[in-house]
Each structure stands twice: as structure tokens, then as C-alpha cells.
Structure 1
Amino acid sequence: MFDFMWNLLSFVVALGLLVTVHEYGHFWVARKNGILVQRFSIGFGKTLFSWRDRHGTEFVIAAIPLGGYVRMLDGRVDPVLPQHADLAFDSKTVPQRMAVIAAGPAANFLFAIFALMLMYLIGVPSLRPVVAQVTPDSIAAKAYLPNQQIIAVNGESVQDWQGVQLLLLEQIGRDSVTLTMADDSNSPGADVKLDLTSWQFDPERDSVFGSLGMVPVQAKPLLDVGSVQPNSPAAAAGLQLHDKLRVLDGVALTDWASMVTIIQNNPGKALSLLVERDGQPVTLTVTPASQLTPDGFHQGFLGVSPKVQPVDPQFIQQVQYGPIEAVWQGIQKTWQLVRLSFSMVGKLLLGDVSVKHLSGPIAIAQGAGSSADLGLIAFLSFLALISVNLGVVNLLPLPILDGGHLMYLVVELIRGRPVSEKAQETGFKIGAFVLLMLMGIALLNDISRL
């Protein structure tokens, strides 16, 4: 229950902040262009709080925190007094109206730059992107990828695993990618080309790196029990903290992953488990519970987690910059996120990425809660990512979104006259249908992952 409330609170804070930023972009540029803003609302539904400023704008906090809007005086829908004609949105030039519409997504991109700048000013602890090992018969193994540091992806320099991941995601649907490998970031490095024609990446099952056969340098799980979930199969079997796992179902365990594989492959089956407890062998019987995967398969679940051997300090770095460089890094990172977001939309349309990977409000809430748990740096990174996604989604050419309005204005600019009301109304209906369909798919995906 606490996790649910924490995720919900984090979601409301994150979404409320990003919606406010987006709508303030519209509001600020509308004011600068002499347009009367009648209402600035954060949320929908019943008004919880409201006040008016000296310009006559009503500011509202509403009960349903799932969006917001800025209502401007518009002669197409409002009665406009002659003396107020020049305050209406529709009385402005096409470039002015385009600026007002584009200001919302632009504000989201600027906020992402600010969040990332702040993150880099504080300092970001991260792992150097060093490949610890390569999985046999994998894409990386076939390319003879060395156990070195990745310093560039397709010629674009990287400093940490997150940067590598973002650039690798852009390669989905392409035939190859070139990684520059070196002993350290100061070495010139050598290029290794990975053949991606057989690359199958499913984020529900594996990481980007795992799907390519790369194992990053990371904290190593040991075969010692670090925690046992209450009321789990592990607790029912009598597993205790500090037990050392030795033999499971007749197989001598060499690492934690081998134990997980056996458990997942044997849901509901009683297995013999030999552990070492206080220096003495103890034999237990464990029966993994069965849980349903997003693909509809049943796999075993034990409810135990390992102790972890910390990462060698030589692989840990603190990425931190001064004010000017932090701004530049924020701009670069935001551009990378914008580029990736548009790339993912294209891959979705082309079928390179499945719609089953779309995420909705539940996944965003979980991400907000998890990032807030990890601290300010992680939460800032999450806010930047969601802010960019919000800006990109709003720029899609669906008539119900900012991008659709911009599309109509571009047509008006070319033709010299507005798109007919009938055509706009039809477009809005189509846009609403497509958007609701995508939201429905994303929500169903979220529910299937619970």
C-alpha cells in the first residue's frame, strides 16, 4: 500500500510539474503576443483552487491531475467585443499563432535542459561503460568484442552505460552498429562492427546489452542469501539470511543466474536445495511459485535476493561539470533524447518496435516512484526523459495535439486561408480516435505487466 501511495504521489508531482511547464509555455508566448488568456488550468474536472490576476486570467487547480490547458480568447468559439478584437487568438498572424502552439513543447525541451544541467552541476555517479564479459555465440561474441571500455557508438562519444543504451536503442531496425573500444577513455580506441541483422531485443525479457551479448561491469550477485520475502516460497522452505546456496535440483551452482534459471524453469515443482548454514550443510525442499510473464508463459518464482559484491571503485566515476559545460551537456543530452523519441515513433510505425512496448500512466507512476526512491539525481533524469517525451508526443501531427494545430497552420500559411472547419472537425475526430487507441494499448500493456 505504501509503494502504491508513493508511486501515486511521485506521479502527481512529476506530471503536475511537467504539465505546468508545458501550459506555461503556451501562456507566456500568448501573453507576449497580446492574446487574452481566459483560463490557465492544471488538471481537469472540479475546481479545487482558483484565483485571478490583474489581466483577468483565471488560474485553476482542478481535481483530476492528468493534464491541463490554457484557454485563450478566440473569435471562432467566443463572442468577442469589438474593442477586444485584437486580443483574440484568431486575430493574430499565422507565425504568431504558430509560436503560441509550439511554445508548449518548446517549454518541455527547455525544462529537460534545465533538469539535466542541474543534474550535471550536482554530479552524476555512474559506471564507466566497460564490458566485463561477452556471452558465447552472441552478436558481440561473433564480432570478437573485447573486454574493454566503450568510448563511442557510431562515432558519438559516450561516458556511461546510459549513454551507450540510448545510442544503441537508435540502432533498432538497422543492419549494424560500430562500437569504438579502448582500455580507457584517453586511448584512441579501435572500431568493432556488430552485425544487427539477427538482433532480437525484447525489453520485457532482457536489457539492450544482454540482447547483444554484452555483460557490463557491475555489482556482482553472490550465492549468499541477502533477503527473504515474507510469505514467499523461500520463506516457506526455511531459507534464512546468510545461507550459502550450493546445489539445486542436483546441479552445483556456480553463480546466481544459474540458480534463477532453474527456479524459473520449474514452477510448482518440489526441488532439493543444499545450502551451507553456519558452516554446516542443510538440505531443504523448495517449491517455486508460478507467475505469469507478459508473454503468457508461467515461470517459477522463489522470493529471495542475493548479497551483492560491490563494483570495483576503479569503474565508478562522478560526472560533474561547471555551469557553462553543464548547460552544454544538458542541451546535448536533451537533443539525444528528442532524436531517440522521434526515432522510436518512426520504428513503431515501421514495425521495428512492437506496440506491446508502449507504456502508459501506470508504468510512468512506477518509474516516478522508483526514481524518487533513488534520490534527486535519478528523479531529475526521469523528469527530463518524461518532459522530452511529452514535448515529442505533442508535436506529432495528430489534429488533437499541438503538432496537428501546427500542421493546419502550415497549410494555412501555404494556401493563404485557413483549413475549413469541416476538415478540421474531421481531423480532430480521427486524431482523438488514434490517441485514445494508443492510450488504451499502453494502459493494457501496463496492466499486463503488473
Structure 2
Amino acid sequence: MLSIIWNIASFVIALSILVAVHEWGHYYVAKLCKVKILKFSIGFGKPLYKRVTSSGMEFIIAAIPLGGYVRMLDGRVDQVSTQDLNVCFDLKPVGQRMAIVAAGPIVNFLFAIFALMLVGMLGSQTSRTVVGEIMPNSYAAQAGLMSNDEIIRVGERDVKDWQEVSIEMVRFSGDASMPITVKDANGLERTRILPIEGWKLDPDARDLFGALGFAPFTPALTTRLAAIGPNTPAGNAGLAVNDEILKLDGTPMTNWGQIVQYIETRPNQTIELEVLRNASLVTITAMLGQKPDKADQGYLGVSPFQEPWPPQYIVEVKQGPIDALVSGTQSTWRLMTVTLEMLGKLFTGDLSVKNLSGPISIAQGAGAHASYGLVAFLGFLAIISVNLGIINLLPLPVLDGGHLLYFTVEWVTGKPVSQAIQEVGLRIGAVILFAVMATAIFNDILRNI
């Protein structure tokens, strides 16, 4: 329950920031163009907070944080007095109207640059992109990828952390092959070609690297217990933190994988554990449970300590303002191009519509990144801000991109698109947008049942 509350709170904070940034872009450029602003709302529905500014504009924070709007004086829907004709949106030159509409998405991209600039300046600790386990008969195994290889390039793009590796690998969904350049344990660079024909990004897999047949290097898990879950078979049996499991039913356990395999194959069975506790051998009997989501797997309710990271595998990244700005700009541009590539793959069928995510997935992502700290949360905001900006530029009449399409036609032809055509376009756009949102929400539900 606490995790759900945390996810919702993180989602509301993230979306409120991004909506405010987007709508502020419209508001700011509208003010520059001397357009009268009637309302500035963050969210929809019942107002939770309302204030009238000195200019007469209503500032509103509403109950449903799934969007927002800037309401400008518009002769098509408002009664406009003679003295207000010069501050009416629809009577402004088409270039100014285009600038006002485009400002929202553009500010989303600028915010992503700012967020990633802060990430660079605050600094972060990351691990080198060293490959750990290779799964037999996998794409990675067929390509000759080996443990301790360090991935330095995916396709033609250099990568410096696992997030960049995943972003570049996603681009190859639906392709026949994926070239990866690695530096082996001797420092030699080699290119491995993963034969991925038929492979498509599957959101249900939850693990991109695992789907390709490898895992990033992580230090080994020990057989010493770091945590005991409350009201679990382990807790009920009297196991304690720092107990080191030596044997299960008399069988020696040399690594954590053995322990997991032994327990998972014995749901609802009683086992005997021999543990080392404070330099003394202790024998404990435990009645295993079963996993809530997998009744055929046994469950003890413990987690182990991990061996420390080798210092040479850890990279500290911290930049000055100029370098952070350059890096943030480059990363934002890369997020924009990859997002456009993924949209193209959705249309061609190389990427399944199952990859569309709705508010539930976004909330889970917000909660997870917020739990990792400010740097991770800022990185998440940057990704969502870029996506929000690009989606709003799609040429659907209910979005900014649709309005820009109409204004472009007006700029080229010298006359506005007729109201009848705009209304038809609005209906079509609303149906398409509703279908996409319904698909995304349906995907969210399927992933969480």
C-alpha cells in the first residue's frame, strides 16, 4: 500500500512539473505576443486552488493532474470587445500563433536539457558497462559476447553507461542484426553481431538485456542474510540478519543461486537449515511458503548481502556547468531522435503496440526513480518531458501539432482552414488519441494483473 501511495505521489509531482513547464511555454510566448490570457490551469476538473492575478488571469490547480491548458482570448469562442481586438489570439499574425503553439513542446525539450544539465552538475556514480553472465544459446552467445567484455558502442553510437546501452539497443527492435563493439579483458576492441532477426522489444519481459541473453556485471550474492521479511517462513522460524547459510537438509550450499534453486523447488515443504551465527553452528527448521504470484515456487522470505563492487568497476561522473550543458543538450537530442525512431517502428509494425505505456506504468517509473534519489528522478523527468514534447507535436488536431498543421496550411495558402474541416479533423484526432490512450491503459492493466 505504501508503495502505491509513493508511486501516485511521485507521478503527481512529476506530471505537475512537466505540465506546468509545457503550459508556461504557451503562456510566456503568448504574453510576448501581447495576447490576453484568461486562464492558466494545471490539471483538469474541480479547482483545488484558484487565484486571480493583477492582469485578471485565473491561475488554477485542478484535481485531475493529467494535463493542463492556457485559455487565451479567442474571437471564435469569446465575445471580444473593440478595445480587445489587438490582444485576441485568432487575430494575431499566423507566425505569432505558430510560435505560441510551438512554445509548449519546445520548452519541454529545453526543460529536458536543464534537467540533464543538473544531473551532470550534481554528479552520479555508475558502473562500467561490463558484461556478466551469458545465457546459453542466446543472441549474445551466438554473437560470441563473453563475460567481462565491456560494451563501448552499440551500432554507431558510443555508450558510457547502461542507460545509454539500453536506449541504443531498443533502436534495433525488428532489425535483423545488432552490432555491438566491446573491449575484451585484454583491452582489444572487437565487434560482435547479434543475430536478432525476429526479435522485438517485449515490455512483458521487463529485462531488455536478459531478452538478448546477457546480464550486466554485478558482484556476487553471498550466502549471508541481509534482511528477513516480517511474517515470512524465515521470520517465523527464527532466522536472523547476518546468519550464513551453510547447508539445507544436509546439502552444502556454496552460493546464493544454489539456495534459491533448492528453496523454489520445495513449496510448502519443511526444510532444515544449518547456519553460522556468531561463530556458532545453529540448526533451524523452517516451513517454506509459496510465492503469491507463483504457487509452484517455494518461498523463504530472505535476501542476501552482496559482495562489494570492485573499485575499478565504479565510475564517478560530475561535470562543470558548460560540460553539463553540452552533455545535456546532446542527450536530449538523442532522446528525441530515438523516440521518433520508435514511433516510426510502431507505424511499421517493427515495434508492438504492447510497448505503449499509460499512467500506471509512468507512475511506477516515477516512484522507482524517485526512490533512487534526485539525480535519477531528474533523469526520468527529462525522458518523460521529451516524450511529452514529441507527442504534442504529432499532427493530430487535438494536439499542438494539429494546430501547427492548420497554421502551416494558412501560412502557405494565405487563408485559414475552414471551420468545418477543423471540426472534422478534431473528431478524427480525438478518436485516434482516445484509441491510443485506451491501448496504453489496457497494456498497463495487463502488465499489473
Task: After TM superposition, list the pairs within 5 Å mapping 1:249-260 onto structure 2.
Answer: 255-257=255-257, 259-260=259-260
The whole-number CA distance in structure 2 between the counterparts of 1:265 and 1:93 is 72
1:213 aligns to what? 213
Is 1:159 aligned to 2:157, yes or no? no
Paired residues of 2:336 and 2:390 also in contact (CA < 8 A): yes
Q: Distance in 2 between matches of 1:426 and 1:299?
A: 55
Partner of 1:449: 448
- CA drift at 1:366: 2.5
C-alpha displacement at 1:46, in angstroms?
2.5
CA gap 1:228/1:200 in 2 versus in 1, 3 angstroms: farther
Partner of 2:224: 224
Change (3 A) 1:316 1:69: same
**Counterpart residue type for residue 162 of structure 2:** W
Give the Cα–Cα distance (whole angstroms) in 1 for the partners of residues 77 and 321 of structure 2.
46
- Determine what percentage of the aligned residue pairs are the same residue: 46
Does 2:281 match 1:280?
Answer: yes
1:68 corresponds in structure 2 to 68
TM score, norm. by length of structure 2? 0.89
- Matches of 1:428 and 1:286 in 2, distance apart? 62
Structure 1 spans left out of the alignment, 5+ residues? none
| Partner of residue 16, structure 2 | 16
Asked if 1:362 corresponds to 2:353, the answer is: no
Moved more, 201-210 or 13-22: 201-210
Q: How many residue pairs get matched?
A: 445
For 2:227 and 2:114, locate their aligned partners in 1 and report how far apart those are by CA, in whole Å.
39
1:180–1:190 contact (8 Å) kept in structure 2: yes
1:32 Cα offset (Å) = 1.4
Say which SS state the counterpart of residue 41 (structure 1) adopts.
strand
2:94 counterpart letter in structure 1: V
Residues 128-277 of structure 1 aligned to structure 2 (within 5 Å): 128-146=128-146, 147-183=148-184, 189-199=189-199, 201-236=201-236, 239-245=239-245, 255-257=255-257, 259-260=259-260, 269-270=268-269, 272=271, 274-277=273-276
CA contact 2:200–2:351 (8 Å) conserved in 1: no
Q: In structure 2, what is the Cα distance between the partners aligned to 1:261 and 1:198?
A: 31
Alignment-derived partner of residue 383 in structure 2: 385
Asked whether the 8 Å contact 1:225–1:307 carries over to 2, the reply is yes
Contact 1:337 1:385 in 2 (8 A): yes
For residues 181 and 351 of structure 2, the distance between their equivalents in structure 1, rounded to whole angstroms, comes to 26
- Deviation at 1:341? 1.9
Distance of 1:151 and 1:238 partners within structure 2? 47
Residue among 396, 409, 423 paired with 2:407: 409
* Contact persistence 2:238–2:284 (CA under 8 A): no
Partner of residue 371, structure 1: 369
What are the residue-to-residue correspondences of 1:46-65 with 2, within 5 Å? 46-65=46-65
Distance 1:285 1:221 in 2: 22
The equivalences for 1:105-120 within 5 A come to 105-120=105-120
Once residues 442 and 157 of structure 1 are traced to their aligned partners in structure 2, the CA distance between those partners, rounded to angstroms, is: 32
Corresponding residue for 1:336? 334
- Cα contact 2:247–2:275 (8 A) shared by 1: no
Partner residue of 1:439?
A: 437
In structure 2, how many angstroms separate the alpha carbons of the residues matched to 1:301 and 1:91?
A: 68
Contact residue 239 and residue 284 of structure 2 kept, 8 A: no
3-state DSSP class of the match of 1:218? Answer: coil
Residues 1:212 and 1:78: Cα distance change in structure 2 (over 3 Å): same
Question: Is the contact made by 1:248 and 1:271 (CA closer than 8 Å) also made in structure 2?
Answer: no
Superposition map of 1:415-430 within 5 A: 415-430=413-428
1:320 maps to 318
Shift of 1:286: 4.4
- Which residue is 2:42 aligned to? 42
Query: Any idea what the Cα deviations from partners look like across 1:145-174, whole Å, max 9, x if unmatched?
Result: 243211111121111111111111111111
CA 1:51/1:196 → structure 2, altered by over 3 Å: closer, same or farther? same
d(CA) in 2 for partners of 1:216, 1:128:
9
Q: How much has 1:334 moved relative to structure 2?
A: 0.8
Q: 1: CA distance between counterparts of 2:298 and 2:201?
A: 22
The aligned counterpart of 1:396 is 394
- In structure 2, the partner of 1:101 is 101
Cα distance in 1 for partners of 2:54, 2:257 equals 64
Aligned AA (1:191): T
Write the letter of the residue equivalent to 2:155: N
In the alignment, is the contact (CA less than 8 A) between 2:154 and 2:180 conserved in 1?
Answer: yes
Give structure 2 stretches of 5+ with no counterpart.
Answer: none
Q: Cα RMSD over matched residues?
A: 2.8
Q: Which stretch shows the higher mean deviation, 299-308 or 324-333?
A: 299-308
Query: How far apart, CA to CA, are the structure 1 residues paired with 2:58 and 2:101?
Result: 20
Which whole-Å deviations, capped at 9, do the CAs of 1:108-146 have from their partners, x for residues lacking one?
110010010011011121111111342222211111124
- How far apart are the structure 1 equivalents of 2:360 and 2:122? 29
Between 1:15-24 and 1:336-345, the stretch displaced more is 336-345
With structure 1 as the length reference, what TM-score do the two structures score? 0.89
Q: 1:422 to 1:220 in 2, by over 3 A?
A: farther
The residue identity in structure 1 corresponding to 2:275 is: E
Alignment partners' CA distance in 2, 1:394 and 1:299: 45
Distance 1:47 1:188, change over 3 A: same
Checking the alignment, whether the CA contact within 8 Å between 2:201 and 2:351 is kept in structure 1 is no
Query: Would you say 1:27 and 2:18 are equivalent positions?
Result: no
Q: Is contact 2:200-2:352 (8 Å) kept? A: no
One-letter amino acid matched to 1:176: S
Letter in 1 for 2:415: R
1:177–1:194 contact (8 Å) kept in structure 2: yes
Contact preservation (8 Å) 1:249, 1:271: no
Whether the aligned pair in 2 keeps the contact of 1:224 and 1:242 (CA below 8 Å) is: yes
Alignment match, 1:124: 124
Distance 2:324 2:432 in 1: 39
